[in-house]
Amino acid sequence: MDAISQLLRLARLEAQLDKHCLLGQATTMETAGHRDLEVPFHVLLEGTCELHVGSTHLQLSAGDVVLLPDGALHRITTSGAGRRSTTIDEDGKAFTTTRSSDGGSPVIDLFCGRYTFGIGAGTILVRSLPSVIHVAFGHAPESDQVLRSLSQLIRGEAQRHGEGTAAILASLCTVLLAMVLRTSSVNTDSVLWTAAAEGTVANAIAAILERPEEQWSIERLSRGANMSRATFLRHFGKSTGMTVGAFVTKARLIAAAELLDTTDATVAVVAQRVGYHSEAAFTRAFHAGVGFTPSRFRRRAHDAATENAAVRPEG
């Protein structure tokens, strides 16, 4: 299985489209903050607008997608002179339709939603992503046709707004995330490691994620890539923004988080299964990467599962 498909499976991704925004000129739409492991996203189908998050201001054009892994408060604005309009919401079965409060004709067609990840591997994946991911698919010829088709499907299903629409849109938004994670056309100061396009590096990433417990030395990886040690390190660092050691640690923590969340194996056994010879070393690495000890992480995962089961509707 390729790396992105494997990551999304382990992360237990759920997608939800929340709003279809048809905003007129001189409109400001404020967004609420999101909970941990909820990643808001926006996909602009038509028009231009700005997204403001902290001190970052992004100019968005048709075909752009933005993910905010930090879940920070942000706002969308459209250009125009005069008094600025706010927004009003119209509730629907599958999503909310948002329009400018002054009733002006729409100048943008924007979809807003969120991705929710499981507390296991999803925690590591979200923490490993840049705080803002901006992809200009409209300027990526290899993805342009795919995105255009996907956009038409999203818009068409949103207009239909019938039985099954929420499930269909969630599936289409999952496809969108996979496209974002694999593209190298990301407007960010950080490297999006999931988008490693070079075959040798991508193959190394997939192998490490699949078998993190193995001893992945630089020599072994460079031989497998038919490169010198120095050349492999240069390509790996450029593609992932990490050293080989840091990436192996990340892969091991992804696997460990999944085992802690889904099995009753002791911390010592989990440590051994993901390649650590010392439980103490594993605990230190896990705490540094996740922010919790393995035991505390497991309790949080159990509490989250219990809470989700309590609020899940019957039937």
Residue 225: give the domain boundaries: 197-305
Q: Are 135 and 187 in contact (CB under 8 A)?
A: yes
Report the CATH number that the domain containing residue 266 is assigned in CATH: 1.10.10.60
Query: What is the Cα–Cα distance from 130 to 204, expressed in whole angstroms?
Result: 22
- Indicate whether 315 belongs to any domain: no
Give residue 142's pLDDT.
55
User: Do residues 76 and 38 both lie within one domain?
Assistant: yes
- Indicate whether 168 belongs to any domain: yes
- Indicate whether 310 belongs to any domain: no
Burial class of residue 212, CB neighbours in 10 A (0-12, 13-18, 19+): buried
Tokens of 241: 């923004």
Give residue 315's pLDDT.
42
Report the CATH number that the domain containing residue 135 is assigned in CATH: 2.60.120.10
User: Do residues 277 and 135 both lie within one domain?
Assistant: no
Residue given tokens 């099954």 in the structure block: 164
Give residue 119's pLDDT.
82
- Indicate whether 183 belongs to any domain: yes
- Indicate whether 269 belongs to any domain: yes
User: Do residues 144 and 223 both lie within one domain?
Assistant: no
Rg, Å, the chain Cα set? 21
User: Do residues 115 and 187 both lie within one domain?
Assistant: yes
Query: What is the Cα–Cα distance from 311 to 306, expressed in whole angstroms?
Result: 9
- Indicate whether 296 belongs to any domain: yes
User: Do residues 179 and 275 both lie within one domain?
Assistant: no
DSSP assignment of 101-154 = TT-PPPSEEEEEEEEE--SSHHHHHHHTS-S-EEEEGGG-HHHHHHHHHHHHHH
Q: Are 152 and 160 in contact (CB under 8 A)?
A: no
User: Do residues 69 and 186 both lie within one domain?
Assistant: yes
User: Do residues 181 and 35 both lie within one domain?
Assistant: yes
User: Do residues 164 and 28 both lie within one domain?
Assistant: yes
Element (DSSP H or E) covering residue 290: helix 279-290
Give residue 160's pLDDT.
84
User: Do residues 90 and 173 both lie within one domain?
Assistant: yes
Give mean pLDDT in consecutive 10-residue pieces for the chain, a chain of 315 residues.
82 91 96 83 94 92 90 92 91 92 93 90 85 77 69 86 89 90 70 76 89 95 94 91 93 93 94 96 93 91 69 48
Domain boundary (143, 176, 193) is at 193
- Indicate whether 312 belongs to any domain: no
User: Do residues 254 and 165 both lie within one domain?
Assistant: no
User: Do residues 22 and 128 both lie within one domain?
Assistant: yes
User: Do residues 144 and 273 both lie within one domain?
Assistant: no
Domain boundary (160, 193, 226) is at 193
Question: pTM value?
Answer: 0.83
Q: How many domains does the structure of the chain reveal?
A: 2
Domain boundary (165, 193, 221) is at 193
Query: What is the Cα–Cα distance from 122 to 300, expressed in whole angstroms?
Result: 14
- Indicate whether 73 belongs to any domain: yes
